[in-house]
Amino acid sequence: MTTSYKRLDKDNAAVLLVDHQTGLLSLVRDIDPDRFKNNVLALADLATYFKLPTILTTSFETGPNGPLVPELKAQFPDAPYIARPGQINAWDNEDFVKAIKATGKKQLIIAGVVTEVCVAFPALSALAEGFDVFVVTDASGTFNELTRESAWNRMSSAGAQLMTWFGLACELHRDWRNDVEGLGTLFSNHIPDYRNLMTSYSTLTNSK
């Protein structure tokens, strides 16, 4: 008896970005701000690159939680944007679920702030409705490591798969030959070490 490998398929995946708001971001203390910003933007670039349907949602953005990070709003001008009037679990918002179902995708890639609420609640709801859920752990942040570990444990126990943006990109792309330059650019823009490798390499080969 074998397990089946739930493998990301770029034709069957959608991205949900939940509550990356300027106020809420000040609560995130389990990942350094420089790294976290980079991870969230990398995930956004990834969604754009693979043309994954992307859905934005916010909680109370006219209050202390603050507006959605402007970079995300700018990057997905045509994406469904659900400013929830009060529901904490985005899945409790009908528009949000409708937008997801409208994509026709069965694999949901979820990231948000804070992990144990804005990510975990819709992740658990989606799993309960039969979706495959891929949590982007490094583009989701929360108060501290203890909270993060609790949230991961709850989601993983319910069947969510924990991934990071780099793994997502690689699993979606499958083969470098599909587009070397595109994937390389994504990595170069968000992985300083990889950028350095590419610079060293191109400098040397250009000097030939």
Site string for a copy of itself, 72-111 (x = CB under 8 A): -------------xxxxx--x-------------------
Site for a copy of itself in 171-190 (CB under 8 A): 171, 173-178, 180
Least separation in angstroms between CB 18 and a copy of itself: 13
If one asks whether residue 52 binds a copy of itself (CB under 8 A), the answer comes out as no
The CA dihedral of 166, 169, 170, 171, to the nearest 10 degrees, is 120
If one asks whether residue 60 binds a copy of itself (CB under 8 A), the answer comes out as yes
Give the DSSP H/E element, type plus range, for residue 82: strand 81-84
State the catalytic residue, choosing from 118, 126, 139, 155.
118
Contact 134, 10 (CB under 8 A): no
Contact 87, 93 (CB under 8 A): yes
Residues forming a β-bridge with 111: 17
Q: Which one, 78 or 205, has the nearer CB to a copy of itself?
A: 205
Q: Is 170 a catalytic residue?
A: no
For residue 22, give both structure tokens. Answer: 């300027």
Residues forming a β-bridge with 18: 57, 112
Site for a copy of itself in 1-30 (CB under 8 A): 2-5, 7, 22-23, 25-27, 29
Contact 136, 43 (CB under 8 A): yes
Residue type, 126: A
Q: Which one, 51 or 208, has the nearer CB to a copy of itself?
A: 208
Please name the residues in contact with 76: beta carbons below 8 A apart, sequence gap of 6 or more: 44, 47, 48, 54, 56
Total residues at interface with a copy of itself (CB under 8 A): 93
Q: Which one, 79 or 120, has the nearer CB to a copy of itself?
A: 120
Site for a copy of itself in 111-170 (CB under 8 A): 114, 116-117, 120-121, 124-125, 127-130, 137-138, 143-144, 146-147, 149-154, 156-159, 161-164, 166-167, 170
Please name the residues in contact with 161: beta carbons below 8 A apart, sequence gap of 6 or more: 6, 132, 133, 134, 135
Q: Which one, 48 or 198, has the nearer CB to a copy of itself?
A: 198
Least separation in angstroms between CB 60 and a copy of itself: 6
Give the residue numbers annotated as catalytic, written as ranges: 118
